[in-house]
Amino acid sequence: MKSLRLYAILYLIFLYAPIALLPIFAFNDGTVIAFPLKGFTLEWFKELLTIPALHAAVLNSLIIAVSSALIATCLGICAARAGTRFAFPGKKGILGLIMLPLVLPEIIVAVSLLVVLLQLGLPLGSWTVVLGHVLMCTPFSIAILNSAFQSLDVSLEEAAIDLGETRWSSFRLITLPLVMPGIISSLLIAFTISLDEFIIAFFLTGTNPTLPVYIWGQLRFPQKIPVIMALGTILVLASVILLAIAEYFRRRGVARTGQADAGGFL
């Protein structure tokens, strides 16, 4: 038992030490990333406000993340509903294929998408990044929404139809509110994934870089590194908050329909 605990602690240190370094150097009053620390400063955070290229990248990333999250969640709703409600030939195989990007190396997905797009002669731009991100996010959305739809009694919608509602209105009045926590959770997770994603964005972006691509570009300039540390600190904080909210909604959804928790991502 003791060695197991030691292992767990070492593992956590290994996992989180690099991330812990981010805020440490973000507030450090020195351009060199090295110990000993010099002193406390907000200089690097202030500098973030003065870089137009950074602001453009942030805006671009936000637009891409919002679009990807919306599209992936809509696709997820359709797939999860079809998967939990109807039986059709090849259902397992089709769902398996949809979930494949979860385990495929991102670089493979990125390169193959790039090849296809270039072959088709389509111009690269924000929309191609959205395309790639939808591909990455949809499996997560499906997994989250599946658990939301699965915990739903099939007769609920039938009961609404029986009481005079149409198919669509019973979906809107009964199913949608009940899976709403799952939808919100899916939107947030997909948004976070898209916001942080680098490889696909790097390959498929046109002239406007996303935030991670911009950061990568700045790493060539050593004097910019403390600023990047500050930016990284903000990003980590934002991601953690978004994921926590997503998990909160997922759990609330499970509790609302009175089911046992089948586990999520967190």
Partner 1 sequence: MKDTLGVERPIIALENVEKYYGEYYALRGISAEIRQGEFFSLLGPSGCGKTTLLRTIAGFEELSGGRLMIDGKDMKRVPANVRPTNMVFQSYAIFPHLTVAENVGFGLRREPLSRDEKARKVAEALEMVGLRGYGARAAHALSGGQRQRVALARALILEPKVLLLDEPLSALDKKMREQMQTELRRLQRQVGITFILVTHDQEEALIMSDRIAVMFEGQIAQLDTPQQLYRRPNTRQVGEFIGVMNFLPATATVSDETHIEVEAAGLGRAVIAPDQLPGGWHPGQTQSVGIRPETMSILFPGETTDRRVAIGTVEDLSYYGDMTYYVVRLDGVDRPMTISMKNLVGRPVLDRGTEARVAWDARSLVLFA
Minimum Å gap between C-beta 87 and partner 1 is 11
The shares of helix, strand and coil residues in the chain, as percent rounded to the nearest 5, are 75, 0, 25
Contact set for partner 1, span 32-71 (CB under 8 A): none
Of 44-52, 62-70, 195-203, 251-259, the window that binds partner 1 (rule: CB under 8 A) is 251-259
Distance CA 158, CA 174 (A): 10
Crossing angle of the two packed helices 225-256 and 126-150, in degrees rounded to 10: 30
* Residue 243, burial from CB neighbour count under 10 angstroms (0-12, 13-18, 19+): middle
Distance CA 259, CA 147 (A): 10
Of 4-12, 49-57, 152-160, 225-233, the window that binds partner 1 (rule: CB under 8 A) is 152-160
Minimum Å gap between C-beta 156 and partner 1 is 5
Of 102-110, 193-201, 231-239, 256-264, the window that binds partner 1 (rule: CB under 8 A) is 256-264
Minimum Å gap between C-beta 149 and partner 1 is 14
**Does the protein bind partner 1 through residue 89 (CB under 8 A)?**
no
Return the residue of 51, 70, 117, 161 that touches partner 1, per CB under 8 A. 161
Minimum Å gap between C-beta 257 and partner 1 is 6
- Cβ atoms within 10 Å of 31's Cβ, excluding its own: 14
Distance CA 145, CA 147 (A): 5
Rounded to whole angstroms, the maximal C-alpha distance in the chain is 73
Residues that bind partner 1 (CB under 8 A): 153, 155-156, 158-166, 174, 177-178, 256-258
